[in-house]
Amino acid sequence: MKSLSQLSVLLACGSAAGRALRSSALLSVAGCSLLVITPLHAGIAENASRQKVAGIDVVALKTGVRDVVTIRGDLPAGDSRSPDTNSALADLAAGMLDKGTTKNDKFAISKQLGDVGANVSFGTNSAALNISAKCLRADLPLVLGLIAEQLRTPAFSPEEFAKLKKQLVGNIRRAMEDVDSRSDIAFNNAVFPLGHTNRRPATAQFLADVDKATLDEVKAFYQQYYGPAAMKLVIVGDVDPDAARGEVGKAFAGWTGGSPAPKAAKAGTVDAARDQNVFMAGKASVSVLWGQATQLRYGDPDGLALRIGTTALGSGFTGRLMANVRDKEGLTYGIYSAVTNDTYADGDWRIGAQFAPELLEKGLSSTRRQLAAWHKNGITEAELASNKGKYVGSYKLGLATTGGMADAILNTMNRDLPLSFIDEFGPRINSLTLAQVNGAIEKHLDPAKMILIKAGTVPGAMPVPAPRG
Amino acid sequence: MMKRSFALLACFVSVAALAAAPASVPGFSHVKSLGGFDEYRLESNGLSVLLKSDRTAPVVTFMVTYRVGSRNEVTGSTGATHLLEHLMFKGGPNFNDAKGNSVKQFLEGIGGNYNATTWLDRTNYYAEVGSEHLEGYLAIEADRMHNLWIREDDRRPEMTVVRNEFEQGENDPQQALDKEIFAAAFQAHPYHHSTIGWRSDIEQVPIEKLRAFYDTFYWPDNATVSVIGDFDPAAALGLVKKYYGGYPKAPQPIPTVYTEEPEQTGPRCVLVQRAGELGVVGVSYKSCAGSHADYPALRVLANILGSGKTSRFYRALTDKNLTTQVTTDAGFFHDPALFQVYAYLAPGITHEQVEKIVNEEAARVRTVGVTDAEVATAIGKITASVAYARDGSFAIASTLNEDIAAGDWTLYVTLPDAFRKVTATDVKRVAGLYLDPNKSTTGWFEPVVAPAAK
């Protein structure tokens, strides 16, 4: 019950822990989102109505799916908005949203949603508060109303705040058991400087900040950053767009505030290659991340060219990394390359893999050979042609789900691109030349200045004390 | 509100059920039609075919489900079903990497979403593609049912690939605990071992055993092909006949699993001590098969205990900062499996504290039962989740795959109605029957302190 995503990022999914954990697949994959849709040839920009409603940038799109509606949204109140004095305020503010409002406690809200089988969740990434919901068509007014109620009138109960702090510490401590989580945070901190939109707080600092945060600080953060200004909401599925906008207007009427995200400085590159070990005892497989900052956003002129080149290196089973490091040499279960984190700001380029400790050096050597040859010689005309098909086909299949479509629309908005970009995606990819792709690889990447993170029981590495919350 | 939503869903199901009459194609017998699906049998070799045409988007999912999983393995060949699934991507004389037409090359060239998975009761291979590519994929998928290369030169590097998959699972405390709970709960039945298998078997299973496995189970009469999405039924049957029709039935009867788990006569416990951060308590009870009449009530019970903030475990544990999360799973398999509870301990909380509350809550549903309101909420959640899981060809295929594995594809159609009929009385009855401490296996994951800094 898993599948390979567009960027070959390994994702786990499954409705029940036991079921998901006992199945084995050729490769872990995604495939959890809702399927079926608007005919792929239909103009999405033409059919998706985009309007300001109660100050919110709203897109509503009716698709061919029956009865199901997916909602995605965000507003710029992510981790990077937390002040220097406390890195945890954005997460704590988001965490208070589903802990009750001034009208209903959390159990009453949960019951209202549960009775109709609807889901509403809030979370944060480095840039934004993320809103995600799913419901049946008839329940859209109820769900929009509850989203608005939770965003507008959180109760900020001291008792719930105390519980949330403990939950957050528990979740962070549990994530510290995971080699991929540990390599990811180390890679992030090595690639993005302090103050960059994508920079995440270091784990030890974050745990200390959760501990010292006060409810008044969280309320002040909420007052400063929450509101319709720069908020986006996407509603996709079995909806009447006019009616959906009407419900948004009713639910959010009179809400004010919010703060557009400032433009952040771009990440720099390092002067020379750097290795960093994150030692974790008793791990049977080591997580590796290898890469650098790109200084590119998704919509920059070389953005798509670099993506196609990266797809040829490390997407799917026919990419060079899987074909060689896995299929020919048997050194890993999964290895990929990807351009990531470039939606809100300039992002990063990375190779990700896991290796058994005793095969780590062999795996890294094999990967280094593939990376060097790819960077030096670029990709071939044949690879360009086949990867155009792979990339465009995969993008279109992603749109064949309400979740995939809603994500694509929201990402396009956050990338400051027009919705017509979605319709033009295929022609844009197909118009790329070999010179553009190989030129982008050479211009924006330098294997001699990449950062290599190894997390797990790395042979020869020294244990370090883990942060405690 | 709830009744209105469910009525709408039921209406769509009915409309689908009334759709087109089954196709009539020589060589196929129509078995039955239900809930928008038409079942056929390819008469020449017994291949089962399920079709569900939905032309709202130009996308189709084709899937073949083999009725073989890790339950068909024995000591020495654990993990063989899964290793063979990996070798199914190595090609054969007709489709391979050297020719440039392997299944990977074909599907990635068209941007298809594809993969294969192995589980306790089944193995499936699938691709979701633009509908114009159905024949191209079907031809390759059918070919590897009969013409696969199974070579030692492929096994050796693939073994280390699978071993790394095993190692990645070993990194996860909950997965490590789950393996030990199943191994303790099942002494005779092959659910004893996990699908990935034991490390030594993964490393040493000889190629001859994998060949024997393929020769025993990969036959048309041990498989179901499902076609869901944008296609013409008669044309699809024609393609199935064109590419699968030349294969014979299995020369020998497909072996059945006749081992039954003996009755458990007392609680069992396991302890897993490894490096880690926080503890986990898992409590599992012997439950029923997915096709059993008690399954719907058990699923409702699992929902009441562990789904969302209104659930009993959330209120009793997570909301009190004793756990970071509690999950429940009724277990949906071909044979009686486990009803599972996993409680993830919050920092500073002991296993004893959490296990005691899990057991008290289990005792409360056994003796006092649940309320009508709890049952209504659980049915609401399950019914909506069923609707969400039917949104599109790939999602439908994924659910259908598990129903085929459980032994009856019509569960896809009948289970939603069965969920809606569950009452509080039913839930109390199954809680009393299955949440039996004497048929439980409790496991602790206990993190050990990592070596001190040097």
pLDDT of amino acid A2: 28
Query: Are A22 and A46 part of one and the same domain?
Result: no
Q: What's the average model confidence in pLDDT over B248-264?
A: 96
Residue B166 has pLDDT above 60, yes or no: yes
Nearest to B5 among A116, A163, A469 (CB): A116
Residue B179 has pLDDT above 50, yes or no: yes
> Tens digit of pLDDT for each residue in A52-98?
999 999 999 998 888 899 999 999 999 999 999 999 999 999 999 99
Give SS3 for A56.
Answer: strand
Query: Are A362 and A290 part of one and the same domain?
Result: yes
**Best residue in B8, B71, B168 to probe A by mutation, most A CBs within 10 Å?**
B168
In a domain, A69, yes or no: yes
Q: In angstroms, what separates the C-alpha of B131 from chain A's closest C-alpha?
A: 11
The dihedrals phi and psi of A64, each to the nearest 5 degrees, come to -80, -5
Query: Are A107 and A8 part of one and the same domain?
Result: no
Query: Are B120 and B203 part of one and the same domain?
Result: yes
Three-state secondary structure readout of chain B: CHHHHHHHHHHHHHHHHCCCCCCCCCCEEEEEEECCEEEEEECCCCEEEEEEECCCCCEEEEEEEECCCHHHCCCCCCCHHHHHHHHCCCCCCCCCCCCCCCHHHHHHHCCCEEEEEECCCCEEEEEEEEHHHHHHHHHHHHHHHHCCCCCHHHHHHHHHHHHHHHHHHHCCHHHHHHHHHHHHHCCCCHHHCCCCCCHHHHHHCCHHHHHHHHHHHCCHHHEEEEEEECCCHHHHHHHHHHHHCCCCCCCCCCCCCCCCCCCCCCCEEEEEEEECCCCEEEEEEECCCCCCCCHHHHHHHHHHHHCCCCCHHHHHCHHHCCEEEEEEECCCCCCCCEEEEEEEECCCCCHHHHHHHHHHHHHHHHHCCCCHHHHHHHHHHHHHHHHHCCCCHHHHHHHHHHHHHHCCCCHHHHHHHHHHCCCHHHHHHHHHHHCCHHHEEEEEEEEECCCCCC
Query: Are B192 and B337 part of one and the same domain?
Result: no
Q: Which amino acid is at B194?
A: S
Q: What's the average model confidence in pLDDT over B123-146?
A: 96
Query: Are B229 and B334 part of one and the same domain?
Result: no
How far CA B345 is from CA of A169, B327, B446, in Å, comes to 12, 12, 10
What is the distance between the alpha carbons of residues B119 and B69, in angstroms, rounded to a whole number?
Answer: 5
In a domain, B293, yes or no: yes
Nearest to B165 among A29, A167, A333 (CB): A333
HSE of A211, CA atoms in CB hemisphere, 13 A: 11
Query: Are B67 and B187 part of one and the same domain?
Result: yes
Summarize chain A as % helix, strand, coil (round to 5): 45, 15, 40
What is the distance between the alpha carbons of residues B245 and B235, in angstroms, rounded to a whole number?
Answer: 14
In a domain, A412, yes or no: no
Q: Which of the residue ranges A98-107, A393-402, B2-11, B300-309 would you say has the lowest mean pLDDT?
A: B2-11
> Tens digit of pLDDT for each residue in A116-146?
989 999 999 999 999 999 999 999 999 999 9
What is the distance between the alpha carbons of residues B327 and B343, in angstroms, rounded to a whole number?
Answer: 7
Contact B329 A167 (CB under 8 A): no
Nearest to A463 among B342, B346, B451 (CB): B451
Beta partners for residue B41, in sequence order:
B29, B48
Query: Are B381 and B423 part of one and the same domain?
Result: yes
Q: Does A117 touch chain B (CB under 8 A)?
A: yes
Query: Are A79 and A158 part of one and the same domain?
Result: yes
Candidates B211, B217, B298; CA nearest to B254 is B217
pLDDT averaged over every residue in chain B: 93
* Domain region containing B96: 18-244
pLDDT of amino acid A25: 59
Residue B320 has pLDDT above 60, yes or no: yes
For A337, the enclosing helix (H) or strand (E) is strand A335-340
In a domain, B251, yes or no: no
Residue B449: pLDDT band (50, 70, 90) is confident
Q: What's the average model confidence in pLDDT over A285-298?
A: 96
* Count: domains in chain B: 2
In a domain, B12, yes or no: no
> Tens digit of pLDDT for each residue in A359-416?
999 999 999 999 999 999 999 999 999 999 889 988 888 888 889 999 999 999 999 9
Q: Does B78 touch chain A (CB under 8 A)?
A: no
Chosen domain end from B209, B244, B279: B244
Contact A174 B57 (CB under 8 A): no
Task: Report how many helices (DSSP H) and strands (DSSP E) chain A contains, helices first.
Answer: 17, 12
Q: Does B454 touch chain A (CB under 8 A)?
A: yes
Q: Which of the residue ranges A22-26, A380-384, A415-419 would you say has the lowest mean pLDDT?
A: A22-26
| % of chain B surpassing 90 pLDDT | 88
* Domain region containing A298: 274-401+423-456
Here the CATH number for the domain that contains residue A436 is 3.30.830.10
Nearest to A386 among B109, B310, B396 (CB): B109
Q: Which two tokens stand for residue A253?
A: 């009427």
Which chain B residues touch A3 with a CB distance below 8 Å?
113, 115
Residue A6 has pLDDT above 50, yes or no: no
Residue B168 has pLDDT above 70, yes or no: yes
pLDDT of amino acid A464: 59
- Cβ under 8 Å to B: A residues 197-256: none
Contact B112 A397 (CB under 8 A): yes
pLDDT of amino acid A265: 76
Residue of A nearest to B343 (CA): A17
In a domain, A94, yes or no: yes
In a domain, A417, yes or no: no
In a domain, B189, yes or no: yes
pLDDT of amino acid A74: 96
| Other beta carbons within 10 Å of A85 | 10
In a domain, A414, yes or no: no
Diameter over CA atoms, chain A: 63
Q: Which of the residue ranges A3-7, A435-439, B183-187, B385-389 would you say has the lowest mean pLDDT?
A: A3-7
Q: Which of the residue ranges A10-14, A37-41, A418-422, B49-53 would you say has the lowest mean pLDDT?
A: A10-14
- The residue with tokens 């599907």 is B107
Contact A177 B173 (CB under 8 A): yes
The dihedrals phi and psi of A467, each to the nearest 5 degrees, come to -65, 145
Query: Are A376 and A428 part of one and the same domain?
Result: yes
Query: Are A27 and A162 part of one and the same domain?
Result: no
The pTM score is 0.90
pLDDT of amino acid B451: 53
For A66, the enclosing helix (H) or strand (E) is none
Q: What's the ipTM?
A: 0.87
What is the distance between the alpha carbons of residues A280 and A357, in angstroms, rounded to a whole number?
Answer: 12
Query: Are A295 and A244 part of one and the same domain?
Result: no
Residue A149: pLDDT band (50, 70, 90) is very high
Distance of CA B32 to the CA centre of its chain: 24
Q: Does A402 touch chain B (CB under 8 A)?
A: yes
In a domain, A407, yes or no: no
In a domain, A261, yes or no: no
Strand arrangement of the beta sheet that strand A274-279 belongs to: A274-279, A451-456, A286-293, A348-355, A335-340
In a domain, B263, yes or no: no
Residue A41: pLDDT band (50, 70, 90) is very low
Which chain A residues touch B387 with a CB distance below 8 Å?
67-68, 117, 136
Nearest to A318 among B105, B163, B347 (CB): B105
- Cβ under 8 Å to A: B residues 370-429: 376-377, 380-385, 387-389, 391-396, 398
Query: Are A129 and A226 part of one and the same domain?
Result: yes
Q: What's the average model confidence in pLDDT over B177-189?
A: 98
In a domain, B453, yes or no: no
| % of chain A surpassing 70 pLDDT | 90
Query: Are A69 and A21 part of one and the same domain?
Result: no
Distance of CA A280 to the CA centre of its chain: 25
> Tens digit of pLDDT for each residue in A216-260?
999 999 999 999 999 999 999 999 999 999 999 999 999 999 999
Candidates A236, A244, A316; CA nearest to A34 is A236
pLDDT of amino acid A155: 98
In a domain, B253, yes or no: no
Query: Are A182 and A322 part of one and the same domain?
Result: no
Query: Are A280 and A174 part of one and the same domain?
Result: no
Residue B368 has pLDDT above 60, yes or no: yes
Q: Does A73 touch chain B (CB under 8 A)?
A: no
Chosen domain end from B211, B228, B244: B244
pLDDT of amino acid A24: 56
Chosen domain end from B186, B210, B244: B244
Contact B113 A27 (CB under 8 A): no
Contact A329 B377 (CB under 8 A): no
- Cβ under 8 Å to B: A residues 295-354: 316-318, 326-333, 354
Query: Are B359 and B443 part of one and the same domain?
Result: yes
Q: What's the average model confidence in pLDDT over B44-51?
A: 98
Query: Are B132 and B91 part of one and the same domain?
Result: yes
Query: Are B194 and B87 part of one and the same domain?
Result: yes
In a domain, A242, yes or no: yes
In a domain, B415, yes or no: yes
Contact B12 A67 (CB under 8 A): yes
Residue B450: pLDDT band (50, 70, 90) is low
Query: Are B285 and B402 part of one and the same domain?
Result: yes
Q: Which of the residue ranges B8-22, B39-53, B189-203, B294-308 would you say has the lowest mean pLDDT?
A: B8-22
A-to-B residue pairs, Cβ atoms closer than 8 angstroms: 304
Q: Does B105 touch chain A (CB under 8 A)?
A: yes
Contact A34 B395 (CB under 8 A): yes
Here the CATH number for the domain that contains residue B274 is 3.30.830.10
pLDDT of amino acid A36: 31
Query: Are A157 and A227 part of one and the same domain?
Result: yes
Q: Which two tokens stand for residue A125?
A: 């990434």
* Count: domains in chain A: 3
